[in-house]
Amino acid sequence: MTDSQETEKLQKVLANNGVGSRREMERWIEEGRISVNGTVAKLGDRVGGDDQLRVDGHLLSRSKEKSPCRVLMYNKPEGELCSRNDPEGRATVFDRLPNIQSDRWIAVGRLDINTSGLLLFTNDGELANRLMHPRHEIEREYAVRVFGEVAPAMLRTLQKGVELEDGVAKFTHIHVRPTDDESLNQWFNVTLSEGRNREVRRLWESQGVQVSRLIRVRYGNLELQKRLPQGAWIELDLEKVNQLRKMVQLPKETETNLKTDDDKLDHARISRMRRSVKKHKLNKAGQSRRNVASTRPKR
């Protein structure tokens, strides 16, 4: 490895080359999946341009020219995992994303299997890392359906702060949505300025009520497109990409591969998206049935 003045942190280099987010890369380094010049890497390593990096034994082709920053908006349905693959063959959020040449899609945060809504993907590891990092305090807004009686005092407590197992957490804003007075379910819109694991659900559960539906509707100043079908994605135009970059103090992107109106959702495009999502679900269901059949003992 070269002198530290000419190097960068290993996890940053991996993220910038589209392998994954910085947090993910730190975990991979700890798991011994990364090597530098034939030696298993450790957290804290720095690398230069001539160092040879391998991921799971495969040589990393390091881009000399950085690809234009791209961002996808995905409307995640319930039942999909936020992982690249699943040993049990369950659907993942990466299954239907478009191929990306010489890069890799990185999920900006996670949604648990029972949560739906807005999920962002990018090929820019630095953008993903900054959007997820707590110091930038990027707001996330959720529509949440709660089962149980919710008193005004409970809402004040949730905004003041609740001690969870991983520290104090709170909603920065709670909006009560109109509902049927006779229903035991009530809808709220809540915002957070961080993204801890299952934080929305855990906050409500700390008050003795249960979340029966959870939908992420906004990330920063980017709202989920209402016409985007569940299980479908759309690529953001340069203006929206730069809105995200500005929020985390990154320089403007000047290039895009999008054509004019590529991000528009007209009736014909929405119909194609729905057919594609339906076809994918049928194929996935058929594959799951074949996998189950192959594991049955032969008579």
Residue 279 has pLDDT above 70, yes or no: yes
pLDDT digits (tens, 9 = 90+) for 5-36: 578 889 888 887 778 778 889 999 999 999 99
Give the residue numbers spanning the domain of 162: 139-219
With bands split at pLDDT 50, 70 and 90, how would you rate the model's confidence at 135?
A: confident
Does residue 54 lie within any of the structural domains?
yes
Inside any domain, residue 66:
no
CATH number for the domain spanning 31: value is: 3.10.290.10
Question: In terms of pTM, does the model score above 0.85?
Answer: no
> CATH number of the domain that 213 lies in?
3.30.2350.10
DSSP string spanning 160-186?
H-EEETTEEE--SEEEEPP--TT-SEE
Q: What is the DSSP string of 121-152?
A: EES-HHHHHHHH-GGG---EEEEEEEES---H
Amino acid at 242: N
Q: How far apart are CA 78 and CA 115, in angstroms?
A: 6
| Among the listed residues 83, 67, 129, 105, the one whose alpha carbon sits nearest the alpha carbon of residue 233 | 105
| Nearest residue to 215 via CA among 295, 226, 127, 168 | 226
Helix (H, G, I), strand (E, B) or coil at 116: strand
Residue 24 is assigned to a structural domain of this protein: yes
> Residue 36 falls within a domain, yes or no?
yes
Torsion, Cα of 272, 256, 136, 223 (10° steps)? -30
- Total Cβ atoms within 10 A of residue 255: 10
* Beta carbons within 10 angstroms of residue 40's beta carbon: 12
Query: Over the chain, what is the mean pLDDT?
Result: 87
Q: Which of 219, 252, 272 is the last residue of a domain?
A: 219
Cβ atoms 176, 186 nearer than 8 A: yes
Domain end, chosen from 177, 203, 219, is at: 219
In a domain, 45, yes or no: yes
Give the catalytic positions in this structure: 112
**Nearest in space to 62 (alpha carbons), one of 2, 137, 10, 131:** 10
Confidence of residue 4 (pLDDT cuts 50, 70, 90): very low
259-278: average pLDDT: 82
212 and 149 in one domain?
yes
Q: What is the pLDDT of residues 24-73, one digit of tens each?
A: 899 999 999 999 999 999 999 999 888 999 999 988 877 655 788 999 99
Torsion, Cα of 73, 75, 81, 87 (10° steps): -80
Report the number of distinct structural domains present in the chain: 3
Is residue 297 in some structural domain? no
Q: Residues 145, 258: one domain?
A: no
Do 144 and 215 fall within a single domain?
yes
Q: Strands 116-122, 210-219: parallel, antiparallel or unpaired by DSSP?
A: parallel
Task: Name residue, tokens 């339906």.
Answer: 278
